[in-house]
Amino acid sequence: MLLIRMRRLVSVNSLVFFLVIAIITVGLFGLPRGEAKDSEVSLPPLQAHPLPLTLKNWNDSQNSGDYFSLMESTPVGSLIWSEFPIKVYWDQPNLSGDHSAAKRRFEQWAELVKQAITEWNQYLPLIEIQQEESADIIIKRDNPSLGAKINPETGKLEIPRARSAQTDYKLYIRADNPPILCHRMTIQISPNLSQELILSAVRHELGHALGIWGHSPVETDALYFSQVRNPPPISVRDINTLKKVYEQPTRLGWTMSQGN
């Protein structure tokens, strides 16, 4: 079921991507003819980044395999980070003198998020930041938004069933000189999850946010497509997959080339 949700999510994301790219393209190329030439900008070509040291040093002597072949393709190539540490913001309860059970639950939620970040930090450097607007990955304590859409076959409005967690991405152009194509990941984790499910949900969604854009068919991987009774820790196969993802070419993190 989660696999289907993920696929749906990915197709929505792909659509968003195409729209963003369309906006970029239209915005940059849709200038008055004759004046456009000096301002034309193309998306960066697909290129691989150097492997982060943590993954370069990763070696699975057991050859446990991976599920890289199940990764979804995106219009910008691999959804990887190339500047480290990756900046992560997550929701925190108010520090005011509120000692309610609701605040305690929020604190526990934030602690479990931190725990999942610590787990992934062994494989890719992550850092906590307090400013949401500067974050690469934003983790919200929200019910995932339901993206209703029209089914082209039936013409009817489809409202997907509520999810407990979701990861979404957006593209933007960072105003460096020259400008760089960047992405930002937003994770939503429902406040209604039980304590034990929060950790596994954040662990799973962080895997997506770090670049594992697909699911494992094996129950003992953190990126298994469905929720299981005893959620597994990050597996060797998860990291084998992550390493392969980071070896792939991407348009992200590269400069927008000036046309002429």
Token pair 């998020």: residue: 113
How far apart are CB 163 and Zn ion at their closest, in Å?
9
For 141, half-sphere exposure in the C-beta direction (CA atoms, 13 angstrom radius) is 20
Which residue, 6 or 206, has its beta carbon nearer to Zn ion? 6
List, as one string, the DSSP characters of 111-168: HHHHHHHHHHHTTS-EEE-S-GGG-SEEEE-SPPP---EE-TTT--EE-PPPPSEEEE
Which residue, 6 or 24, has its beta carbon nearer to Zn ion? 6
Which residue, 6 or 79, has its beta carbon nearer to Zn ion? 6
How far apart are CB 122 and Zn ion at their closest, in Å?
21
Q: Which stretch binds Zn ion (CB under 5 A): 4-12, 76-84, 116-124, 168-176?
A: 4-12
Which residue, 6 or 76, has its beta carbon nearer to Zn ion? 6
Q: Is 136 exposed, middle or buried (0-12, 13-18, 19+ CB in 10 A)?
A: buried
How far apart are CB 224 and Zn ion at their closest, in Å?
9
Scanning residues 47 to 106, which ones bind Zn ion (CB under 5 A)? none
Q: Is 100 exposed, middle or buried (0-12, 13-18, 19+ CB in 10 A)?
A: exposed
Which residue has the closest beta carbon to Zn ion?
6
What is the Cα Rg of the chain in Å? Answer: 20
Q: Which stretch binds Zn ion (CB under 5 A): 3-11, 154-162, 172-180, 234-242?
A: 3-11
- Which H or E element spans position 183? strand 180-189
For 23, half-sphere exposure in the C-beta direction (CA atoms, 13 angstrom radius) is 9
Scanning residues 5 to 44, which ones bind Zn ion (CB under 5 A)? 6
Which residue, 6 or 71, has its beta carbon nearer to Zn ion? 6
Q: Which stretch binds Zn ion (CB under 5 A): 2-10, 43-51, 101-109, 137-145?
A: 2-10
Total of chain residues touching Zn ion, rule CB under 5 A: 1
How far apart are CB 98 and Zn ion at their closest, in Å?
33
How far apart are CB 86 and Zn ion at their closest, in Å?
19
For 18, half-sphere exposure in the C-beta direction (CA atoms, 13 angstrom radius) is 6
How far apart are CB 249 and Zn ion at their closest, in Å?
23
Site of interaction with Zn ion (CB under 5 A) = 6
